[in-house]
Amino acid sequence: MGETPNEAISLVLGADLLRESDACARTLHLSRAAYVRRALEKANAEVNRDARRVRMYRASLRVRDESTRFTQELES
């Protein structure tokens, strides 16, 4: 399968955030667009990681509860 085509978006930033982002992009030798893409990729990865952590925690609780019920049934 091929890559999906890029789509353009319009983004409004406050002057301070834009100035800081431009400075960071220059430090990394990236264009503004490349810097914003990288920042979004990192933010998406963080959100996905946190969501996965929550799913794993909830699954762990379910397994623990099931294990506790099983152990109680064996003991009775």
pLDDT band at 70 (very low <50, low <70, confident <90, very high): confident
Residue 1 confidence (pLDDT): 63
Residue 33 confidence (pLDDT): 96
Q: Is 31 a domain residue?
A: yes
**In angstroms, how far apart are the furthest CA atoms of the chain?**
68
Residue 15 confidence (pLDDT): 98
User: From CA 10, how far away is CA 76, in angstroms rounded?
Assistant: 65
Domain that holds residue 59: 15-75
Q: Is 9 a domain residue?
A: no
Q: Is 1 a domain residue?
A: no
Statement: residue 12 has pLDDT above 80: yes
Statement: residue 18 has pLDDT above 70: yes
DSSP category for residue 29 = T
pLDDT band at 71 (very low <50, low <70, confident <90, very high): confident
Number of domains in the chain: 1
Contact 37, 11 (CB under 8 A): no
3 φψ region: left (φ > 0), alpha (ψ -120 to 50), beta (else): beta
Q: Is 2 a domain residue?
A: no
In this structure, is the dihedral angle defined by the CA atoms of residues 16, 22, 23 and 25, taken in order, positive or negative? positive
